[in-house]
Structures are given as C-alpha cells and as structure tokens.
Amino acid sequence: MVPIRAIRLGSHPFPFLLVSEWALLAIALWSEFSPTLLRRSAGFPAAAQAIVLLFGLMGIWLPLRPQGVKIAHFILQVILILLAARWSTVGLRLFPLLQIVLVLRSSLMFNMLGRVLVTSGTFVVFLIMVQSQLQSLGRSLPPRANEVLLPQLSGIRLNLVVMFSLVLVFLLMLMNALIAERQRGEELKMANQKLKESAAQIEILAMGRERSRIARDIHDSLGHALSGLNIQLEGALKLWEADPEQARNFVTQAKMMGSTALGEARQAVATLRQTDDLRKDLSSEIDLLIQRFRETTGVLPQVAVDCPPLPESVNLTVYRIVQEGLTNISKYARADHVRITIKASSEPAQLAITIEDNGVGFHPHHNSTGFGLRGIRERAEAEGGQLRLITAPGEGCTLSVWFPLDREVT
C-alpha cells in the first residue's frame, strides 16, 4: 500500500469536516461586517478578509509527511490567524473560529501527542488573547465605568474560557474517535484484501487436494472392481479349454464385476456433480465388500464391527480404507485368512481399524509409490489419524489405522 503524503480536496477522509471549515470561515468573514459596539479604528478589514481566504485555501492541501513540512504548514497557518486577528476590526470574534479550524486540520496532520499539544497551545493563545482584549477594553473605558464593569468583564472572561475549553476538548475527542474509526476501517480493508489473497491460495490448494481426492476415489472404487474383473478373466482364460464350465462361471463373475465398476463410475460422476450424498450403513456396505472379496478370492474374511453410528464422512473414510485393504490383499497377498476389526473406544475417543492377513507380506520400504497405501495414509491423516503397517516377506501383513472421534459419537 502506497503511503499517502498529503490530504487533498478530492481525497479528504472526512468531507463533512471541509464543509464545517468553510462554514466557520464564512461566519468569520461575515463577522467583519456585522455590527458591534467595540469596533477598532486601526483595523484593515480587506487585508483580514484576504488572509482568511488564504487560510481557507490552505485547507485544500494538508501534508502528512515529512515532519518538517507539516510543522512549517502549521506555523504558517498560525501566522495567518494572528495577522487576521491583528488586522480585523472585530478580532475577538474572528480569532476563535479560525482556531477551531486550525485544531480540526492539525488533528488530521499530527498524531495523538501532536493533537494534544496543538489543542493545549490553542487554548493558551486564546486565553492570552482574551486577557489582552479585556485589558485593552479596560484601558479605553473611564475609571468610573471600569470599576462598575470590571466584575462583569471578569465573569464574561471566565465564561468564554470555560466554553472554549469545552469546545476544544469536544473537538479533540471527536477527531480522535473519527481517526481511530478511520484507521480501523483501513485495517479492516487491508485484512479483507489479505483474506481475499489467502482465499485465492486456499482455493488453489483445495483444487490440488480435490484432484488428489478424485484420484483416490477412482483408484479405490474402480480399481477395486476392475482388479477383481481382471482376476476373473485371467482365470477364465486359463480354464477355457480344460474346464469350460468353470471358465463360464469366471466370465459370469467378470460380467458382475464390470457392472459393479460401471456403478462405481456412475457414483463417482454423481459425487463430482455434487448430488446428495448416499447415507450408507457401514456394516451392510462392508458386508458387500466381503461378499465381493469372497467371490474374487474364495476367502471369507472374519469381520468384527463394534462402533456406534458414525458421521457420514467417517463412514466413507472407513469404507474406503477397508476397500483398499481388501483390494491390496486380493491383488498381492495370496492369503487364505483375513481378519477385519473396526472398534470405537471412549478413552481415548477414537476409532481403530485393523486389517490382518497371513499372505506373503512384503518389504514396507519397497512399496512407497503405490496409490493404495498412500491413499489410506492420506485418508487417515485427513481425519487427524495415523497409519501403522507391520509386515515382512513371508509373515503376512497387519495394517492399523486410528483417528480421533468426537466424544458425543463414542
């Protein structure tokens, strides 16, 4: 953000203050022609009016930096006020109005300390001017009249001083409130700008995560069905001549797998189009996975599900983890015993998923590029959980996933 070096007519932060200044200056000019009992014969009304106009034009440009320019601008305004009061024929009425305008402008130019100093100095100068005017008035009156009017003049002076001090305090508080509100507005504007930039970055990250999620879903759903279809077709090809009946069964199951893959593809498209999410029962959906796994491999896994109803997002995460685990076993493990455990606990409040098999196992560090385990790990981490894999060649595999749950769920 480029720092503002000056306040100009078109960029004034508070246009109503400009209108107020012009109104006060108009009153000051009009006061030169208003009737008064104590007009000074030594005044120069034309010069005073020209100075007031010049003082008004200085409000069109108020420097904000550097500090030396601000001080010079302020001093020049003070000199113009003193000259206007000196040459005016009704200086006592003209002077306070110009001082009020000076305080308003200085509040925009200086910080809090500068505003207090300007306001205090203005009050002191006003006090001196009032005292000087009253002393001049006392010297011009006869002694007898001076004795009679002295108490009344003292009361008038006290009233003027108190009223002007209250006006200055009010102006100082008003300007502080306006400037503070203005600064908060600027900070809010900058915060909104940063928020927009952050939102754009988040959108980019979200698009990347969404692409990863879509890749996981396609791999988990279609990959599972197509892997089973491929196994069935391989079996049919091997038994095509030796056992045509069994080959026909394999082809039939392959057709079922193809229908399942087509259904998964349609479901993925429906999800991408943001249709209503299917509210699945976890146990029944896992049972379907088990049946497909049995049809594909001939192995019936042991399943133990002990958990309360879970949020839909958690149901989907559990389903995909079990699905991917069974897909990996059917493709690589050559196991004849599989056990799946899903259990929720209250202390701590978490859900644990364990998938065990007695297959051939593998070296965990040699399988770092596959989408299967990577997808399971990403799903677990998305729920704030962790993945642990225990396996070795010839010793089967144990895959454990756990992530926290809300206590209300458990």
Q: Please tell me the distance from the alpha carbon of residue 292 to that of residue 290, in angstroms, as a whole number.
A: 5
More confidently predicted of 43 and 338: 338
117: left (phi over 0), alpha (psi -120 to 50) or beta: alpha
Residues linked to residue 304 through DSSP beta bridges, in sequence order: 341
What the chain holds in terms of domains, given with CATH numbers, is: 6-197 (no CATH), 285-410 (3.30.565.10)
Residues linked to residue 353 through DSSP beta bridges, in sequence order: 342, 401
- Output the pTM of the full model: 0.48
What is the tens place of the pLDDT at every residue in 253-288? 888 777 777 766 765 665 555 434 445 578 888 888
Contacts of 321 by beta carbon, 8 Å cutoff, 6+ apart? 353, 355, 376, 379, 380, 401
Contacts of 102 by beta carbon, 8 Å cutoff, 6+ apart? 74, 77, 78, 81, 118, 122
Mean pLDDT of 190-216: 74
Which helix (H) or strand (E) is 397 found in, with range?
Answer: strand 397-404
pLDDT given for residue 40 in this prediction: 53
What is the tens place of the pLDDT at every residue in 139-190? 666 666 666 666 676 777 788 888 888 999 999 999 889 888 988 988 898 8
Of 72, 56, 47, residue with least CA distance to 24: 56
More confidently predicted of 3 and 403: 403
* Angstrom distances, CA of residue 82 to CA of 42, 76, 91, 163, 278: 15, 10, 9, 21, 82
More confidently predicted of 86 and 203: 86
Mean pLDDT of 101-122: 89
Q: Please tell me the distance from the alpha carbon of residue 12 to that of residue 113, in angstroms, as a whole number.
A: 22
- 60 near 8, Cβ under 8 Å? yes
Of 218, 207, 211, residue with least CA distance to 372: 218
> How many alpha carbons lie under 13 Å from residue 211 in its C-beta half-sphere?
5
pLDDT given for residue 249 in this prediction: 83
What is the tens place of the pLDDT at every residue in 15-43? 888 888 888 888 878 877 766 555 555 66
What is the tens place of the pLDDT at every residue in 221-241? 677 677 777 887 888 888 887
pLDDT given for residue 146 in this prediction: 60
Residues linked to residue 388 through DSSP beta bridges, in sequence order: 400
Which helix (H) or strand (E) is 389 found in, with range?
Answer: strand 386-391
Share of the chain above pLDDT 90, in %: 13
Count the residues in the chain.
Answer: 410
What is the tens place of the pLDDT at every residue in 368-408? 545 678 878 888 888 888 999 999 999 999 999 998 988 76
Residue matched to tokens 């993925």: 268
Residue type, 184: R
Q: Please tell me the distance from the alpha carbon of residue 308 to that of residue 314, in angstroms, as a whole number.
A: 12
Phi then psi for 355, rounded to 5 degrees? -125, 115
pLDDT given for residue 59 in this prediction: 86
Residue matched to tokens 């192995």: 299
Is the peptide bond prior to 45 cis by the omega test (within 30 degrees of 0)? Answer: no
First to last CA, the chain: 51
In three-state secondary structure terms, 344 is strand
pLDDT given for residue 275 in this prediction: 36
Instruction: Please spell the DSSP secondary structure of 19-33, one letter per residue.
Output: HHHHHHHHHHHHHTT
Share of the chain above pLDDT 70, in %: 80
The per-residue pLDDT of the chain, averaged, comes to 80
Instruction: Please give the DSSP secondary-structure letter assigned to residue 340.
Output: E
More confidently predicted of 265 and 252: 252
Of 83, 102, 96, residue with least CA distance to 28: 96
